[in-house]
Amino acid sequence: MTERFMTRAAVFTAVYNNTGEVLLQQRGPNSYLAGYWDFPSGHLEAGEDMRVTAVRELAEETGLQGRAEDLCLKHIDHYYIEVDYLNFVFELRDWNGEPTIMEPDKCSAVAWFAPDNLPKKCVNVVRAYAASGLGASEAVTYSVTDRAGYERFMGEPLQAGGLPAVTGAQDE
Protein backbone atom coordinates (compact mmCIF):
# COMPACT_ATOMS: atom_id res chain seq x y z
CA MET A 1 0.00 0.00 0.00
CA THR A 2 1.31 3.45 -0.92
CA GLU A 3 1.91 5.83 1.97
CA ARG A 4 -0.25 8.95 1.76
CA PHE A 5 1.29 12.38 1.54
CA MET A 6 0.81 14.28 4.78
CA THR A 7 1.16 17.98 5.49
CA ARG A 8 1.24 19.92 8.74
CA ALA A 9 -0.96 22.87 9.63
CA ALA A 10 0.00 25.91 11.67
CA VAL A 11 -1.93 29.03 12.63
CA PHE A 12 -0.62 32.57 13.02
CA THR A 13 -2.50 35.48 14.61
CA ALA A 14 -1.94 39.02 13.36
CA VAL A 15 -3.10 41.03 16.38
CA TYR A 16 -3.74 44.72 15.71
CA ASN A 17 -3.98 47.50 18.30
CA ASN A 18 -6.22 50.57 18.03
CA THR A 19 -3.51 52.55 16.18
CA GLY A 20 -3.17 49.89 13.47
CA GLU A 21 0.13 48.42 14.67
CA VAL A 22 0.64 44.67 14.51
CA LEU A 23 2.06 42.56 17.35
CA LEU A 24 5.20 40.53 16.70
CA GLN A 25 7.36 38.43 18.97
CA GLN A 26 11.04 37.76 18.51
CA ARG A 27 12.03 34.10 18.52
CA GLY A 28 14.39 33.16 21.36
CA PRO A 29 18.04 32.17 20.96
CA ASN A 30 17.33 28.42 21.11
CA SER A 31 14.30 28.50 18.80
CA TYR A 32 13.85 27.67 15.15
CA LEU A 33 14.76 30.87 13.24
CA ALA A 34 16.25 32.44 16.37
CA GLY A 35 16.15 36.23 16.29
CA TYR A 36 13.44 36.45 13.65
CA TRP A 37 10.12 38.21 14.37
CA ASP A 38 6.89 36.23 14.09
CA PHE A 39 3.19 36.42 14.82
CA PRO A 40 1.96 34.45 17.84
CA SER A 41 1.56 31.01 16.32
CA GLY A 42 1.37 27.29 16.83
CA HIS A 43 0.37 23.88 15.59
CA LEU A 44 -3.10 22.38 15.56
CA GLU A 45 -3.84 19.66 18.06
CA ALA A 46 -5.70 16.57 16.84
CA GLY A 47 -9.38 17.40 16.37
CA GLU A 48 -8.94 21.08 17.27
CA ASP A 49 -10.65 23.88 15.33
CA MET A 50 -7.88 26.10 13.94
CA ARG A 51 -9.52 29.23 15.40
CA VAL A 52 -9.44 27.59 18.83
CA THR A 53 -5.76 26.79 18.23
CA ALA A 54 -5.11 30.45 17.37
CA VAL A 55 -6.66 31.86 20.56
CA ARG A 56 -5.06 29.11 22.69
CA GLU A 57 -1.60 29.81 21.28
CA LEU A 58 -2.15 33.58 21.59
CA ALA A 59 -2.88 33.20 25.32
CA GLU A 60 -0.05 30.70 25.88
CA GLU A 61 2.54 32.90 24.14
CA THR A 62 1.44 36.48 24.93
CA GLY A 63 -1.18 36.34 27.69
CA LEU A 64 -3.69 38.08 25.40
CA GLN A 65 -7.27 36.86 25.39
CA GLY A 66 -9.25 36.60 22.17
CA ARG A 67 -12.35 34.80 20.98
CA ALA A 68 -12.41 32.31 18.12
CA GLU A 69 -15.46 34.01 16.59
CA ASP A 70 -13.55 37.33 16.37
CA LEU A 71 -10.81 35.86 14.15
CA CYS A 72 -10.87 36.52 10.42
CA LEU A 73 -8.90 34.27 8.05
CA LYS A 74 -6.79 36.57 5.87
CA HIS A 75 -3.96 34.58 4.31
CA ILE A 76 -2.84 31.03 3.53
CA ASP A 77 0.80 30.23 2.83
CA HIS A 78 1.76 26.85 1.40
CA TYR A 79 5.29 26.29 2.66
CA TYR A 80 7.40 23.43 1.35
CA ILE A 81 11.11 23.57 1.86
CA GLU A 82 12.21 21.19 4.62
CA VAL A 83 8.69 19.95 5.40
CA ASP A 84 5.24 20.65 4.01
CA TYR A 85 3.06 23.15 5.90
CA LEU A 86 -0.19 24.95 5.32
CA ASN A 87 0.07 28.17 7.33
CA PHE A 88 -3.16 30.03 8.11
CA VAL A 89 -2.96 33.71 9.12
CA PHE A 90 -5.88 35.06 11.12
CA GLU A 91 -6.48 38.71 11.95
CA LEU A 92 -7.65 39.73 15.42
CA ARG A 93 -8.67 43.30 16.30
CA ASP A 94 -10.85 42.66 19.37
CA TRP A 95 -8.81 41.26 22.26
CA ASN A 96 -8.02 41.88 25.95
CA GLY A 97 -4.84 42.09 28.01
CA GLU A 98 -1.30 43.39 27.76
CA PRO A 99 1.22 41.54 25.59
CA THR A 100 3.63 39.65 27.83
CA ILE A 101 6.38 37.14 27.16
CA MET A 102 4.78 33.99 28.54
CA GLU A 103 7.34 31.54 27.12
CA PRO A 104 10.78 33.09 27.73
CA ASP A 105 12.50 29.93 26.50
CA LYS A 106 10.89 30.48 23.07
CA CYS A 107 10.48 34.27 22.87
CA SER A 108 12.98 37.04 23.69
CA ALA A 109 10.88 40.17 22.94
CA VAL A 110 7.39 41.31 22.03
CA ALA A 111 6.59 44.64 20.35
CA TRP A 112 4.08 46.54 18.23
CA PHE A 113 5.11 47.56 14.69
CA ALA A 114 3.56 49.81 12.08
CA PRO A 115 2.70 47.64 9.06
CA ASP A 116 4.94 49.79 6.86
CA ASN A 117 7.87 49.53 9.30
CA LEU A 118 8.26 45.83 10.09
CA PRO A 119 11.65 44.53 11.26
CA LYS A 120 13.95 43.31 8.49
CA LYS A 121 14.17 39.81 10.00
CA CYS A 122 10.62 38.43 9.95
CA VAL A 123 9.69 34.80 9.35
CA ASN A 124 8.43 33.86 5.89
CA VAL A 125 4.75 33.86 6.89
CA VAL A 126 4.94 37.46 8.15
CA ARG A 127 6.76 38.50 4.96
CA ALA A 128 4.28 36.65 2.72
CA TYR A 129 1.33 38.24 4.57
CA ALA A 130 3.00 41.67 4.30
CA ALA A 131 3.54 41.16 0.56
CA SER A 132 -0.18 40.38 0.21
CA GLY A 133 -1.12 43.75 1.74
CA LEU A 134 -1.43 42.80 5.44
CA GLY A 135 -5.06 41.78 5.17
CA ALA A 136 -6.17 44.85 3.19
CA SER A 137 -7.99 42.63 0.69
CA GLU A 138 -11.52 41.47 1.38
CA ALA A 139 -10.55 38.11 -0.10
CA VAL A 140 -8.27 35.56 1.54
CA THR A 141 -4.83 35.85 -0.08
CA TYR A 142 -2.51 32.97 -0.90
CA SER A 143 1.23 32.51 -1.29
CA VAL A 144 3.66 29.69 -1.91
CA THR A 145 6.94 29.52 -0.05
CA ASP A 146 9.26 27.22 -1.91
CA ARG A 147 12.99 27.94 -2.20
CA ALA A 148 12.40 30.80 -4.65
CA GLY A 149 9.53 32.16 -2.55
CA TYR A 150 11.70 32.05 0.56
CA GLU A 151 14.37 34.17 -1.10
CA ARG A 152 11.75 36.61 -2.43
CA PHE A 153 9.93 37.06 0.90
CA MET A 154 13.00 36.95 3.15
CA GLY A 155 15.36 38.96 0.98
CA GLU A 156 18.16 36.45 1.56
CA PRO A 157 19.16 33.13 0.06
CA LEU A 158 18.31 29.88 1.76
CA GLN A 159 21.61 28.64 3.12
CA ALA A 160 22.91 25.14 2.56
CA GLY A 161 22.04 22.93 5.49
CA GLY A 162 18.87 24.75 6.44
CA LEU A 163 17.53 28.09 7.49
CA PRO A 164 19.79 30.77 8.97
CA ALA A 165 19.96 31.81 12.62
CA VAL A 166 20.14 35.51 13.41
CA THR A 167 21.95 37.28 16.22
CA GLY A 168 21.96 40.95 17.14
CA ALA A 169 19.53 43.80 17.63
CA GLN A 170 15.78 43.52 17.15
CA ASP A 171 15.77 45.57 13.97
CA GLU A 172 18.28 43.47 12.03
All structural domains of the chain: 8-154 (3.90.79.10)
CA distance 132 to 161: 29
Query: What does the pLDDT read at residue 172?
Result: 40
Reply yes or no on whether the pLDDT at 83 is more than 60.
Answer: yes
For residues 77 and 144, is the Cβ–Cβ distance under 8 A? yes
Query: Using 50, 70 and 90 to split pLDDT, how confident is the model at 162?
Result: low
Amino acid at position 84, single letter: D
Answer left, alpha or beta for residue 151, where phi above 0 means left and psi between -120 and 50 means alpha: alpha
Query: Using 50, 70 and 90 to split pLDDT, how confident is the model at 23?
Result: very high
The closest alpha carbon to 60, from 106, 23, 28, belongs to 106
CA distance 148 to 157: 9
Percent pLDDT > 90 in the chain is 59
For residues 39 and 110, is the Cβ–Cβ distance under 8 A? no
pTM: 0.87
